[in-house]
Amino acid sequence: MALLAAVGALFGGAGGERQPEALLHMTQADWQVEDASGFSAPPLTQDSTALPDTWEHVELPLALPIALLRQAKDGAAAGATRVTWIKLSARDLPPTSGPLALYGVRVKTDGTIAVYANGHLVHRAQQQGPLWNSTRTPLWVVLENNADGTPLNEILLRLEHTQSAQVALSSLWLGPPEALRGSYRLREWLQQELPAMLSAAFMAVGVFALFVWFKRQHEMGYLLFFNLAATSFLRGLHFYVGLPVANDWFAWLTVNALFWLVMVVHFFLRQLHGRPLKWLTYGVVGITTTIAVLTMPNLAILRNTPQVTPLIYSVAALMGAAVCLVGGVSAWRRSNEGRLVAAGIGVCTLLGVTDWLLQNNFISPEAWYLGAYTNAVAFSVFGALMYRRYVDAIAEVEDLNASLAQRLQTREAELEDSHRRLREVERRQTISDERQRLMQDMHDGLGSSLISAIRSVEVGGMSDTKVSQILKSCLDDLKLTLDSLEPVEADLLLLLATLRYRLEPRLEGTGVSLQWEVQELPDLPWLDPSSALHILRIVQESIANILRHTRATEIRVGTALSASGVQVTIEDNGHGFDVDKALGNASASGRGLQNQRRRAQAIKGTVTWESRATGTRFVLWLPLERAVQPA
């Protein structure tokens, strides 16, 4: 906005620098008022001497005092008009050859404006109905050189207005157009074009907010923002469109938009500071509605005329001030944004007040027209809000992402930690299981064998060969224990192969031949070290029994696949034994058989013996699948 203002200043500055001496600043004039009956078209020529000789001398700028209340009262009986004549002398104009321009900051009236140069009509503004935009439209008339070459003597202004209204006129400049155009363009730019641009921009952002609201209907702020933009656009519409405000509804809209604007700002503020402010809300809505009804063209309770509107506007100014003050106080400790909006509406109200003062001749008609900048202020304030929201939202998203990443990291660490602890527990469990298994195994086999060997050596009741044999079998036990710890990967044949490899040296020199008649077997997925050791011990015990008790000369080891499991068969050609009897007694061999049975049960398998005088057939059956791990 500052940039746009700077552009305007550049316009003006560029023109101002080239101001030659040929300029005439007219601050003295003659003035008279004539009653008339209704507006009429200005004649093409008007000789000032033909007018009544009731001229009064006045100084420009001219701002006649207005009696607002009386004016409003009289205005109701419309129809009567007046014509104000202002006569300016151009005699002091330095002689120039080129065309001349007449420039004035402001000619304020509610009727037509006609400009005569040397008695000839050279400019007209607003040919029918009341004039609305005189406050912000600078006067600019280019006077062509007279055909007959007579110098310009006199400028005559004919200002029509309603009977009780008063005109105002700034001082006028006369001079070459290029010398005055800068000042004129600057006024036009800052009073009309720039506010129009800002208003349009505000409207565009408002439409954007409306579309945001369509998607996020729970956020009323966006809808309010759109309403704000829309009403302020409507409010400013008559400043910028070329159409004269002749339509009564359009006039109604223009006036009421101001109230709506204040009301929307009030609701906005309420949202920001979060206080209901019941009475103020009732008041604001009440006044707005009342004004809307009163000024409705078809009801015509209050005629919306330039005589009445200044009073209506003063109501709007009071309402704006109230909203600003109460909103500001409410938002003071609660919302920065609320304070900003309250300050904004405060500024807008002040701008509106200067506008009003200007309109009603309380301040010089040469003052700047600031009312048009209420839009700009509103746009800036709400633009700042939107900007903050937007920037905050981005920061929030970034924070959220960062905290999300952090949470994820924490979670991962936690998970890793719990996983580690779980592994630790598992590891301990495994170690404990393994220790228990080995302890059990050592206790039954190796430990007791060693103890009996030690006792025999100490007592001396056993031959060295016997002791050596016991120790060798201890070593075999140990080897098998170690082998059971090797991964056999579900391969029962590999386990049996290992057993054979370990036992083969013991068979040497016993005269017993071992027939290996194994077949491929499917994998046994449950074959863990614990189960492997059970199987090794079962088969080992079986072969040891044969060697110890049966006087066999041949052992056949075979494997086969049965319906739902695998079989390991160990047959010998020894003299056999009474299975039931052996199982029933508590002798070493009986305990051995019971051990085999117990171990088989532990791995969900079975053992069976078929013994005849010609040999014994031992079968270890193992399941293919095993659902539950044995304890």
Partner 1 sequence: MQRARTEQDLHPIHVVIVEDDPCFSDALSKVVREAPDMRLAGMASTRADGLAMLQGPPADVLLVDLGLPDGSGIDIIRAAAQQWPSCSIMVSTNFGDEMHVMQSIEAGAAGYLLKDSSPAKTVDEIRSLASGGSPISPLIARQVLERFRQGVSGSSTATSAQAAPAGSESTPLSAREKEVLDLITKGFTAHEIAKLMQLSHFTVRTFVRRIYTKLKVTSKAEAIYEARTQGILAD
For the bound state, the minimum distance from the C-beta of residue 483 to partner 1, rounded and expressed in Å, comes to 7
For the bound state, the minimum distance from the C-beta of residue 470 to partner 1, rounded and expressed in Å, comes to 13
Q: Which two structure tokens, joined as six digits, stand for 297? A: 């063209």
Q: What is the CA radius of gyration of the chain?
A: 57
Strand 513-517 and strand 554-562: pairing?
Answer: parallel
For the bound state, the minimum distance from the C-beta of residue 453 to partner 1, rounded and expressed in Å, comes to 15
For the bound state, the minimum distance from the C-beta of residue 445 to partner 1, rounded and expressed in Å, comes to 16
For the bound state, the minimum distance from the C-beta of residue 520 to partner 1, rounded and expressed in Å, comes to 8
Q: Angle between the 373-442 and 464-485 helix axes, to the nearest 10 degrees?
A: 160
Instruction: Kindly tell me which of 393 and 475 has the beta carbon lying closer to partner 1.
Output: 475
Task: Kindly state the DSSP code that residue 48 receives in the 8-state scheme.
Answer: G
Q: Which of 161, 184, 162, 160 is nearest to 173 (CA)?
A: 184
Judge if the upstream peptide bond of residue 61 is cis by omega within 30 degrees of 0.
yes
Instruction: Kindly tell me which of 156 and 521 has the beta carbon lying closer to partner 1.
Output: 521
Residue 304 has a CB neighbour count (10 Å cut-off) of 20
For the bound state, the minimum distance from the C-beta of residue 456 to partner 1, rounded and expressed in Å, comes to 20
For the bound state, the minimum distance from the C-beta of residue 498 to partner 1, rounded and expressed in Å, comes to 5
Quote the CA–CA distance of 365 and 325 in Å, as a whole number: 30
309: Cβ contacts below 8 Å, ≥ 6 apart: 255
Q: Which two structure tokens, joined as six digits, stand for 86? A: 């202002």
Instruction: Kindly tell me which of 21 and 489 has the beta carbon lying closer to partner 1.
Output: 489
Instruction: Kindly tell me which of 152 and 480 has the beta carbon lying closer to partner 1.
Output: 480
Instruction: Kindly tell me which of 228 and 499 has the beta carbon lying closer to partner 1.
Output: 499
For the bound state, the minimum distance from the C-beta of residue 573 to partner 1, rounded and expressed in Å, comes to 20
For the bound state, the minimum distance from the C-beta of residue 578 to partner 1, rounded and expressed in Å, comes to 31
At position 119, the amino acid (one-letter code) is G
Q: What is the DSSP string of 57-70?
A: EEESSEE----HHH
Instruction: Kindly tell me which of 357 and 467 has the beta carbon lying closer to partner 1.
Output: 467
Chain positions contacting partner 1, by CB under 8 A: 472, 475, 478-479, 482-483, 486, 488-489, 491, 493-494, 496-501, 504-505, 508, 516, 518
Q: Are 287 and 319 in contact (CB under 8 A)?
A: yes
Quote the CA–CA distance of 541 and 528 in Å, as a whole number: 20
At position 342, the amino acid (one-letter code) is A
For the bound state, the minimum distance from the C-beta of residue 478 to partner 1, rounded and expressed in Å, comes to 8
Instruction: Kindly tell me which of 201 and 478 has the beta carbon lying closer to partner 1.
Output: 478
For the bound state, the minimum distance from the C-beta of residue 446 to partner 1, rounded and expressed in Å, comes to 14
For the bound state, the minimum distance from the C-beta of residue 501 to partner 1, rounded and expressed in Å, comes to 5
Q: Please count the residues of the chain.
A: 631
Quote the CA–CA distance of 119 and 47 in Å, as a whole number: 5
| 3-state DSSP percent of the chain in helix, strand and coil, to 5 | 55, 15, 30
Instruction: Kindly tell me which of 270 and 502 has the beta carbon lying closer to partner 1.
Output: 502
According to DSSP H, which parts of 296-372 are helical? 309-331, 336-359
Instruction: Kindly tell me which of 479 and 598 has the beta carbon lying closer to partner 1.
Output: 479
Alpha-carbon separation of residue 296 from 161, 251, 290, 401 (angstroms): 23, 10, 10, 55
DSSP bridge pairs for 160: 83
450: Cβ contacts below 8 Å, ≥ 6 apart: 470, 471, 474
Instruction: Kindly tell me which of 496 and 607 has the beta carbon lying closer to partner 1.
Output: 496
For the bound state, the minimum distance from the C-beta of residue 474 to partner 1, rounded and expressed in Å, comes to 11
Q: Which two structure tokens, joined as six digits, stand for 452? A: 């009996």
For the bound state, the minimum distance from the C-beta of residue 441 to partner 1, rounded and expressed in Å, comes to 16
Instruction: Kindly tell me which of 188 and 477 has the beta carbon lying closer to partner 1.
Output: 477
Instruction: Kindly tell me which of 193 and 491 has the beta carbon lying closer to partner 1.
Output: 491
Quote the CA–CA distance of 227 and 497 in Å, as a whole number: 92
437: Cβ contacts below 8 Å, ≥ 6 apart: 529, 530, 533
Maximum separation of any 2 CA atoms in the chain, in Å = 168
32: Cβ contacts below 8 Å, ≥ 6 apart: 51, 52, 54, 55, 56, 84, 85
Instruction: Kindly tell me which of 5 and 475 has the beta carbon lying closer to partner 1.
Output: 475
Alpha-carbon separation of residue 568 from 89, 546, 571, 589 (angstroms): 138, 16, 10, 20
Q: Are 375 and 198 in contact (CB under 8 A)?
A: yes
131: Cβ contacts below 8 Å, ≥ 6 apart: 109, 110, 111, 112, 113, 125, 244
Instruction: Kindly tell me which of 345 and 488 has the beta carbon lying closer to partner 1.
Output: 488
For the bound state, the minimum distance from the C-beta of residue 491 to partner 1, rounded and expressed in Å, comes to 7
Quote the CA–CA distance of 172 and 25 in Å, as a whole number: 6
Collapse the DSSP code of 608 into the 3-class scheme (helix H, G, I; strand E, B; otherwise coil) and give the result: strand
Instruction: Kindly tell me which of 486 and 523 has the beta carbon lying closer to partner 1.
Output: 486
